[in-house]
Amino acid sequence: MVRHSKDRLFITATEWSEQYGGKKNIKSTSYRPLPFDHCGLTLVPFITPVCLHEGVIFELEALMEYILKYKKNPITGDPVTSKDIIRLNIDKNADGEWQCPVLNKALTNNTHVVAIKTTGNVYCYDAVNELNIKPKNYTDLITGESFKKSDIITLQDPRDPEHMKLRDVNNFIHLNEVRDEHQNNKSIESKIKLNSTGENIMKELEKSNDIITSKKRKLDEIITKLHEDSSYIDDVKDILDLKPLIEDVNPGQKNTDGRASSSFTSSVITSYTSNASRLATADDIRDALYKKMRQLGKKGYVQIQTNIGNLNIEIHCDIAPKTSYNFISLCNNNYYQSTIFHRLIKGFMLQGGDPTGTGTGGESVWKGKFKDEFDTRILHSDRGVVSMANSGCNTNGSQFFITLKDTKHLDLVHSVFGKVVGGSSTLDRVELIDTDKHDRPIKDIKIINTVVFTNPINEAKENLIEFIKINITTRVNNGRTSALPSKVK
């Protein structure tokens, strides 16, 4: 007997998935999930990652600007303030890829990623699940700080459809608002075409022109703001007042403001016929200053006067200029005066520099955190090394520690910037002080004063100012007196 193919006693995989397996009602959705390393506002890779309670990552500057203007979450539309922003500390591997600091596993678009709200540290979910959730040991895997289970924020979970729906750029509130505005503009154009009388046409044209003019003004303001340095500038204000171009600060480097190219590809930005070198920002000037400090090749010397004795510290201004600048500036500002060394681990290190005395406070001379500065010429290779304390990658502030032995496991994790060159007996006496179970000294080790004996920063700054003035004079003598581009008349 001949058997028909449909008389077989089994079903195929296609039949199971499309007809009998219960999946025939599932429609393939074409969603566009935000890549893990991209900002939810700018849709480009982030540099300084932050997030809100829902877990989508943003660039700090973009999110701050949006919240200050609209006072709501750009993804969900919920009301938020700048206090709701959570700074994220994401580790990087040698290839510059974001990674889990515990498993050393790269964080890709397919990785389940979480953050600890209280510390901002970011890990693979596998690490947190195995080391925190399962043993119910809710302490941060890097800092040891306690947290609650509710403090675990999901940044990305590819297996959770609801979470991936949240990360779908088609559902972002701020993008939908832009689409709606674009649709409204199209409606205005269509109305202009439909109106038959000249009077009505002119009215509609005036309305549309007002909208375009308003957009031009806003975009020009945004472009101008992007090229202004809105961060802390008091330390280089005297150089900024010279209004140097980027090429005056760093000859050979010529960066333009990009107005010409952007204006020729947009119908709403004021048209420009030429590019111009942009003005140097505070960060540009600082980078040039650090370069001058390296070229100068001089050390700084600071004395920390405590109630136990004095510590004379040599500062590596020629090797770690940024970290040295921060420390010397804080000493000059009497920032450490009357603070205590809040942590002492015998045979390991002595930590201080927190004005709150808790180990969680303190800020840099620039009123925030700054990036790590590593150099293999200065490592944690001996007793008396002075290095920056941090709570993760690029989170340096004011806190520092002094090693009581070689601690090579801290190399390229904490930024070394100095060494104790006088007062070893003071360190010996400090190490004899008893501590409680939290490593806090029973007897206060108090910083009475800090005295800066040698400060090569001032000489480097004078050299930079003279260097910039010469470059400005040369540029002006060559007929290049303006940094402004030419507009279309």
In whole angstroms, what is the distance from residue 413 CA to residue 4 CA? 71
Residue 135 exposure: Cα atoms within 13 Å on the Cβ side: 10
In whole angstroms, what is the distance from residue 397 CA to residue 387 CA? 12
According to DSSP, residue 91 is labeled E
Query: Which pair of structure tokens corresponds to residue 134?
Result: 């399962």
CA angle 320, 323, 327 (to 5 degrees): 125
Distance (Å) of CA 60 to CA 10, 86, 385, 395: 57, 9, 33, 14
Predicted local confidence at residue 368, as pLDDT: 85
Main-chain dihedrals φ then ψ at residue 99, nearest 5 degrees: -145, 165
In whole angstroms, what is the distance from residue 154 CA to residue 171 CA? 18
Distance (Å) of CA 305 to CA 162, 423, 427, 446, 452: 57, 10, 12, 9, 11
Query: Which pair of structure tokens corresponds to residue 234?
Result: 């008091």
The residues that are catalytic are 343, 348, 351, 390, 401, 410, 414
Predicted local confidence at residue 487, as pLDDT: 42
- Go through the chain and tell me how many residues it has: 489
Predicted local confidence at residue 50, as pLDDT: 93
Query: Which pair of structure tokens corresponds to residue 396?
Result: 């340096």
Nearest to 120 by CA among 434, 470, 390, 468: 390
In whole angstroms, what is the distance from residue 446 CA to residue 220 CA? 52
Residue linked to tokens 């089994």: 10
Can you spell out the DSSP letters for 94-151?
TTS-EE-TTT--B--TTS-EEEETTT-BEEEHHHHIIIIITTT--B-TTT--B--GGG
All residues at 6 or more sequence positions from 92 whose CB lies less than 8 Å from its CB, including other chains: 98, 99, 393
Please count the helices (runs of H) and the strands (runs of E) in the chain. Answer: 13, 16
pLDDT tens string 195-249: 455 566 666 666 766 666 665 565 555 544 444 444 566 778 888 888 888 888 8
In whole angstroms, what is the distance from residue 379 CA to residue 417 CA? 9
Q: What is the four-CA torsion angle of 194, 197, 203, 204, rounded to 10 degrees?
A: 10
Kindly state the helix (H) or strand (E) to which residue 466 belongs, with its residue range: helix 456-477
Strand order in the sheet with 310-315: 343-345, 349-352, 400-403, 385-388, 416-422, 310-315, 300-306, 447-454
**Which amino acid belongs to residue 230?**
S
Specify burial of residue 432 (Cβ count, 10 A radius: 0-12, 13-18, 19+): exposed
In whole angstroms, what is the distance from residue 324 CA to residue 316 CA? 6
Query: Which pair of structure tokens corresponds to residue 112?
Result: 């389940």
- Enumerate the β-bridge partners of residue 449: 305
The pTM is what? 0.53
User: Is residue 270 within 8 Å of residue 263, measured between CB atoms?
Assistant: yes
Can you spell out the DSSP letters for 324-383?
HHHHHHHHHTTTTTT-B--EEETTTEEEE--TTSSSS----TTSS-B-----TTS-S-ST
CA angle 447, 453, 459 (to 5 degrees): 130
Kindly state the helix (H) or strand (E) to which residue 447 belongs, with its residue range: strand 447-454
In whole angstroms, what is the distance from residue 217 CA to residue 322 CA? 38
Query: Which pair of structure tokens corresponds to residue 183?
Result: 């649709």
Predicted local confidence at residue 272, as pLDDT: 61
pLDDT along the chain (489 residues), means of 10: 63 70 51 87 90 92 88 91 90 87 90 93 94 92 89 92 87 83 63 55 67 60 46 75 84 65 59 69 89 93 95 95 95 94 93 92 90 92 94 91 93 93 93 92 94 93 91 81 45
pLDDT tens string 158-172: 888 888 888 888 888
**Secondary structure in 3-state letters for 56-77:** CEEEHHHHHHHHHHHCECCCCC
Kindly state the helix (H) or strand (E) to which residue 416 belongs, with its residue range: strand 416-422
User: Is residue 458 within 8 Å of residue 328, measured between CB atoms?
Assistant: no
Predicted local confidence at residue 142, as pLDDT: 87
Predicted local confidence at residue 261, as pLDDT: 61
In whole angstroms, what is the distance from residue 433 CA to residue 421 CA? 22
User: Is residue 36 within 8 Å of residue 98, measured between CB atoms?
Assistant: yes
Query: Which pair of structure tokens corresponds to residue 449?
Result: 């004063």
Distance (Å) of CA 43 to CA 32, 284, 481: 12, 26, 37
